[in-house]
Structure 1
Amino acid sequence: MNLTISGHHLEVSPALRAYVMAKLERVLRHFDQVIHVKVLLSKHNEAQKERRQRVECSIHVKGNALHAGSKHLNLYAAIDELVDKLDRQIVSHKTRIQGWRNAPIKRELAMTALA
């Protein structure tokens, strides 16, 4: 798995990098087929102060790409919110994949029961 953490108008400190990596471990424990993760931390000069810190993430997994973003006053709170969104997406993706894999078996069992 490749992990890229970059900053836009913001310097990514080692503490911030470690925090992002620790939080992404929660997301990645659900799904082991992750190919690439790209995280972009940015600071924007918007009129709304509570939406100045932004975090965007793209996770490329086998067969799909998941994207999420978050805005908040505090960068750490934006990362927490982003991880919650990604966690929901990855769990949903995993259940879709598992449901798709198990569907033909159920159909075959139903067909043999009818015959």
Structure 2
Amino acid sequence: MQLNVTGHHVDVTTSLKGYVEKKLDRIVRHSDHVTDVHCILTVEKLRHKAEATVALRGATVYADATEADMYAAIDALADKLDRRVKKHKEKLVDHHAVPAPKNGA
């Protein structure tokens, strides 16, 4: 997974980038098809916004979160991305497959 973290009106420190990387590692655990993650951190007055685009094999998942604190916004973003990646993974699984008949019946 390649992670790009950029900031608008905020300096992306090593601790902030490390926090984003730690939180987004959870997404990789759910789907091993994650190729690229682009995260944008924005500060506008008292609003802290974190948004990310996750490139999966065959799809792109986007989420954003706005909170009063940047770390809270990153937490909310990670939760949203986690749910959306899980949902995408469930769509790929064929739930309508007919089970194979048993030989003994």
How many residue pairs are counted as aligned between the two chains?
101
Return the offset for 1:40: 0.2
How far apart, CA to CA, are the structure 1 residues paired with 2:92 and 2:3? Answer: 23
Does 2:64 align with 1:69? yes
Q: Which amino acid aligns with 2:51?
A: E
Q: Partner of 1:41 in structure 2?
A: 41
Which 5+ residue runs of structure 2 have no aligned equivalent?
A: none
Which 5+ residue runs of structure 1 have no aligned equivalent?
A: 111-115
52, 55, 65: which is aligned to 1:57? 52
Q: Which amino acid aligns with 2:31?
A: F
Please tell me whether Structure 1 or Structure 2 has the larger radius of gyration of its CA atoms.
1
Q: Could you tell me the percent identity over the aligned residues? A: 35
82, 85, 89: which is aligned to 1:90? 85
Return the offset for 1:27: 1.4
3-state secondary structure, aligned to 1:70: strand
How far apart, CA to CA, are the structure 1 residues paired with 2:92 and 2:27? Answer: 16
Q: Partner of 1:3 in structure 2?
A: 3
How far apart, CA to CA, are the structure 1 residues paired with 2:26 and 2:34? Answer: 13
How far apart, CA to CA, are the structure 2 residues paired with 1:106 and 1:66? Answer: 30
3-state secondary structure, aligned to 2:24: helix
How far apart, CA to CA, are the structure 1 residues paired with 2:31 and 2:2? Answer: 15
Does 2:23 align with 1:23? yes
How far apart, CA to CA, are the structure 2 residues paired with 1:92 and 1:38? Answer: 20
Q: Which amino acid aligns with 1:88?
A: R
Q: Which amino acid aligns with 1:42?
A: T
Please report the TM-score for the alignment, with normalisation by the length of structure 1: 0.81
Give CA-to-partner distance per residue, 1:79-115, whole Å, 9 cap, x none.
Answer: 000011001001101111112xx64x539x69xxxxx
- In the TM superposition, structure 1's runs of 4+ consecutive aligned residues that sit over 2 Å from their partners are none
Return the offset for 1:24: 0.4
